[in-house]
Amino acid sequence: MDKQLTGIKIMIVEDEGLIAMDLEDELADCGATIVGSYRGLAEALPAAKSSTIDFAILDVNLGSETSYAIAEVLRSREVPFVFASGYDKSGLQSEWQDTPIARKPFNRAILLKLIGEQLGI
Amino acid sequence: MTVAPSAIPSGTRILYLEDSLIDADLVRTLLVGTQPELVFTHVLGKSDYEEALEQNAYDIILADYQIPSYGGEAALAQAQLRRPDLPFVFVSGALGEEIAIESVKLGATDYVVKQRLQRLPAVVARALTEKQERVKRLSAEIALRESEAKFRHLAENVPALVWMTESDLSCSYLSPSWSEFTGQAAQLGLGNGWLESIHPDDREGFIEVLRNSHQEHLGAECECRLRHAGNGYRWTITTAEPRFSDVGDFLGLIGTFVDITERRRYEDELALRADEFQSLADNIHQLAWMADANGWIYWYNQRWFDYTGTTLSEMQGWGWRKVHHPEHVDRVVEKISAHFKSGETWEDTFPLRGRDGGYRWFLSRARCVRDKGGNIVRWLGTNTDITERLEADRLRQLLVNELNHRVKNSLATVRAIASQTMRHEESFENFKEKFESRILVFSTTHDLLTQSNWQGADLRALVEQSLAAHGESSQYLTDGETLHLDPKAAVAISLALHELATNAVKHGALSSPSGRVRVSWSKDQKQNPEFHLRWQEEGGPPVSKPKRSGFGTRLIHRSLAQDIDGEVDFRFEPEGLDCRITGRLSKQ
């Protein structure tokens, strides 16, 4: 199995349990270390501020919340990340139009390509 | 210069019938003495006299009354027959008072007795003057008769009723058409009678107008109903002008009545049409307006004023700009100005400020009306409120986006189920069976959610649906109250129950006919309420904790716990699996 992401610490913010679980498995298969998988702001925000993170995947819509606050924190820490969403760019706040987006449903190849582009690997 | 009344005009031609040469000389001498420039012709008897009359070369005839061969009366009769316009004066020695009077009665102009012959020049002069006066009077009478004839011809032929009043307001003339029109004989209309033909409601007004006109010596005009011989009354307009004599005295009025019933009907019709237009314009749902060829708006319907809370004086011309939104007004003005110039039909969408200060969106259109020559006459415009339509469009778009999002999320879930199933099943047959059954649960849960318009589902319905495909219904005991779960929890619980039941049939209580599964649930009354779901197996084969956790266990531990924001407790009791699930209820 391709271990392209070996040693890379990834944070996942995704409110759908099944999707989060599968995403964790996929990334782990590629060698990544999941530093945290969170369903909402309450848990994700403190982690985004304090954890050592190389990369993050943020579901835009978290039930009644959105993940922009987490994106804000990551941007200030210069941690690269992508949004995951069923919507295209037009569903993003104007401020985040330049952030890469992983359109749901995505597969491993799409994910690896996006992460590779962001981390330059 | 004054001329002496007794002077005979120079060049006067006198014919004198006299049988006495002495008397003739005497008279000639006398007359020529006062006027040397005379043409004096003396004839002695009947034949010369009558021949002279035929020549028609005289201005006056003098004659002796007693001529033996020819009586004075015969001479007068001849003169009247042949030259009735010439003055005729008797000059006689023996003319008694009675004869003199008789002769004047017969038509002589005057007479002079020879004993007082010195009167003759004055008598001749007066006779000539009188004749001249008579001629003048006659020609004046003829002229008047001709003028009256012309007036009557005119009055009787114009398509109007002609009337005249005197200075005392009485009617002195009505054209023959008066009686044809009103049925009142013109004769009866003279004086004040004609007023009877004017409608009682209009009569006082008519008299008032005439009276003013008479007082001020000015023209008059008024409309009134005039009796019609056919039936009822017809509307007429009467116009009059003052009449003045040669020396400027006011004589009364001359006027006409013209039937304007048709005109009134057109006017009424026009007024009705205008009313209809106004009520149409004010009752259509749109705001409407009209502009002249240059785009100057001169009319708005009532709705415009009702909506904007403005007045025509504020809005006319280009005043409408003040109810436009500051961010749109320049663009709107620029575009409509171009269309006013080109004549092209105009369409635009913009907000307009209502009387409450809020803006609503309008779809506006205007097209020009052209005359036969193709020149723009005016512009007709409407503004249709499309705020609700835009809002509906927005909601529809929102719904489409939401649906798309939901579909994408479902596909992502399906993908995750496939991916996870693959991880745990080595043969394709097993994958196919597990994947299909999981997708089926996912699908039927969607059906339940769709029934509630995606508001959520009742836990009992989810339990019954999830267990129906596994084992005999007699092996299940379900117990719980009505408990509403949100869509996400509903999907997660369904998938979990499916895994529990599949496992029970394969390895647990339901693998033996004596086995039972009790499913119970409840909710608590905490401030953040939680629900408790318990899955208890009994009567099956002895149970031990499995060596490795399968998809079902992971799903329940990892995914379910996340989706219901709760906890899961698996207990592998000897008598059977006891799984306790606690989750947070979304606030309803």
Indicate whether A93 belongs to any domain. Answer: yes
Q: Is A33 helix (H, G, I), strand (E, B) or coil?
A: strand
- CB–CB contact B404 A25 (8 Å): no
Q: What is the mean pLDDT of residues B203-217?
A: 94
B519, two tokens: 């499913």
Q: Are the beta carbons of B174 and B196 closer than 8 angstroms?
A: no
d(CA B571, CA B6): 170
Q: What is the mean pLDDT of residues B445-449?
A: 93
Q: What is the mean pLDDT of chain A?
A: 91
Q: What is the mean pLDDT of chain B?
A: 90
pLDDT tens digits, residue range B388-422?
Answer: 999 999 999 989 988 888 888 899 999 999 999 99
Residues 6+ away with beta carbon under 8 Å from B428: none
Helices B387-424 and A17-29, axial angle in degrees (round to 10)? 50
Indicate whether A58 belongs to any domain. Answer: yes
| Residue carrying structure tokens 């606690």 | B582
Q: Is B377 helix (H, G, I), strand (E, B) or coil?
A: strand
Q: Are the beta carbons of B31 and B124 closer than 8 angstroms?
A: yes
CA angle B232, B235, B236 (to 5 degrees): 125
Q: Is B331 helix (H, G, I), strand (E, B) or coil?
A: helix
d(CA A54, CA A43): 18
d(CA B224, CA B227): 10
Indicate whether A3 belongs to any domain. Answer: no
- CB–CB contact B415 A107 (8 Å): yes
CB-based contact, B584 to chain A, within 8 Å: no
d(CA B174, CA B525): 108
Beta bridge partners of B225: B235
Q: Which residues of A touch B411 (CB under 8 A)?
A: 104-105
- Cα dist from B206 to B85, B187, B583, whole Å: 51, 20, 99
Pick from B419, B441, B488, B558 the residue to mutate for testing the A interface (most A CBs within 10 Å).
B419
Q: Are the beta carbons of B462 and B430 closer than 8 angstroms?
A: no
Give the domains, in start order, of chain B with CATH numbers.
13-136 (3.40.50.2300), 158-264 (3.30.450.20), 286-385 (3.30.450.20), 395-584 (3.30.565.10)
* Termini Cα distance of chain A: 17
User: How many alpha carbons fall within 13 Å on the CB side of residue B136?
Assistant: 6
Residue A75 has pLDDT above 60, yes or no: yes
Torsion of CA B352, B353, B358, B361, to 10 degrees: -10
B229, two tokens: 């011989």
pLDDT tens digits, residue range B143-158?
Answer: 888 888 888 888 888 8
- CB–CB contact A105 B558 (8 Å): no
Sequence-ordered alpha helix ranges (H) in chain A = 17-29, 41-50, 68-76, 108-119
- CB–CB contact B412 A16 (8 Å): yes
- Cα dist from A68 to A89, A102, A105, B401, B405, whole Å: 14, 15, 20, 19, 18
Residue B543 belongs to what H/E stretch? none
Task: Report the largest interatomic distance among the alpha carbons of chain A, rounded to a whole angstrom.
Answer: 38
> Sign (positive/negative) of CA torsion B503, B507, B513, B519?
negative
> How distant is the Cα of A99 from the closest Cα of chain B, in angstroms?
19
Establish whether the linkage from the previous residue to B68 is cis, with ω within 30° of 0: no
Q: Are the beta carbons of A101 and B404 closer than 8 angstroms?
A: no
Cβ-based burial of B96 (10 A; exposed 0-12, middle 13-18, buried ≥19): exposed
d(CA A12, CA A40): 10
Indicate whether A86 belongs to any domain. Answer: yes
d(CA B562, CA B496): 12
Domain count, chain A: 1
Pick from A12, A18, A104 the residue to mutate for testing the B interface (most B CBs within 10 Å).
A18
pLDDT at B94: 67
- Cα dist from B475 to A28, B471, B494, B512, B540, whole Å: 41, 7, 19, 10, 11
d(CA B56, CA B83): 8
CB-based contact, B558 to chain A, within 8 Å: yes
A75, two tokens: 């941007």
Q: Which residues of A touch B562 (CB under 8 A)?
A: 15, 17, 20, 39
- Comparison of pLDDT for B496 and B474, the residue scoring more: B496
- Comparison of pLDDT for B101 and B214, the residue scoring more: B214
> How distant is the Cα of B550 from the closest Cα of chain A, in angstroms?
13
**Identity of the amino acid at B138:** L
d(CA B82, CA B213): 54
| Residue carrying structure tokens 């597969």 | A107
- Comparison of pLDDT for B485 and B85, the residue scoring more: B485
Nearest CB to B401 within list A23, A87, A105: A87
Percent pLDDT > 90 in chain B is 55
pLDDT tens digits, residue range B281-336?
Answer: 888 999 999 999 999 999 999 999 999 999 999 999 999 999 999 999 999 999 99
pLDDT at B353: 97
pLDDT at B293: 93
Residues 6+ away with beta carbon under 8 Å from B552: B496, B499, B500, B502, B503
Indicate whether A114 belongs to any domain. Answer: yes
> How distant is the Cα of A102 from the closest Cα of chain B, in angstroms?
12
Cβ-based burial of A72 (10 A; exposed 0-12, middle 13-18, buried ≥19): middle
d(CA B274, CA B160): 31
Indicate whether A61 belongs to any domain. Answer: yes
Q: Which residues of A touch B420 (CB under 8 A)?
A: 18, 21-22, 25
CB-based contact, B64 to chain A, within 8 Å: no
**Which residues 19-48 of chain A have a CB within 8 Å of chain B?**
19-23, 25-26, 39
B455, two tokens: 């508001």
pLDDT at B5: 52
Torsion of CA B454, B401, B406, A25, to 10 degrees: -150
Q: Are the beta carbons of B499 and B552 closer than 8 angstroms?
A: yes
**CATH number for the domain that contains residue A35:** 3.40.50.2300
Indicate whether A1 belongs to any domain. Answer: no
Chain A residue at shortest CA distance from B423: A25
Residue B426 has pLDDT above 90, yes or no: no
User: Of the candidates B514, B519, B441, which has an alpha carbon nearest to the alpha carbon of residue B480?
Assistant: B519
pLDDT tens digits, residue range B324-378?
Answer: 999 999 999 999 999 999 999 999 999 999 999 999 999 999 999 999 999 999 9
Residues 6+ away with beta carbon under 8 Å from B285: B303, B384, B385
Neighbours of B370 (CB within 10 A): 13
Beta bridge partners of B42: B16
- Cα dist from A111 to A94, A103, A117, B406, B417, whole Å: 23, 10, 10, 21, 18
B281, two tokens: 């314009």
pLDDT at B402: 84
Nearest CB to B420 within list A21, A85, A106: A21
Q: Are the beta carbons of B562 and B583 closer than 8 angstroms?
A: no
Contacts of A38-44 with C-beta under 8 Å, sequence gap 24+, read A38/A11, A38/A12, A38/A13, A38/A14, A39/A13, A39/A14, A39/A15, A39/B562, A39/B565, A40/A15, A40/A65, A41/A65, A41/A67, A41/A69, A41/A70, A44/A11, A44/A13, A44/A70
Q: Is B532 helix (H, G, I), strand (E, B) or coil?
A: strand
- CB–CB contact B415 A20 (8 Å): no
Indicate whether A91 belongs to any domain. Answer: yes
Residue A66: give the domain boundaries.
9-119
pLDDT tens digits, residue range A13-29?
Answer: 999 999 999 999 999 99
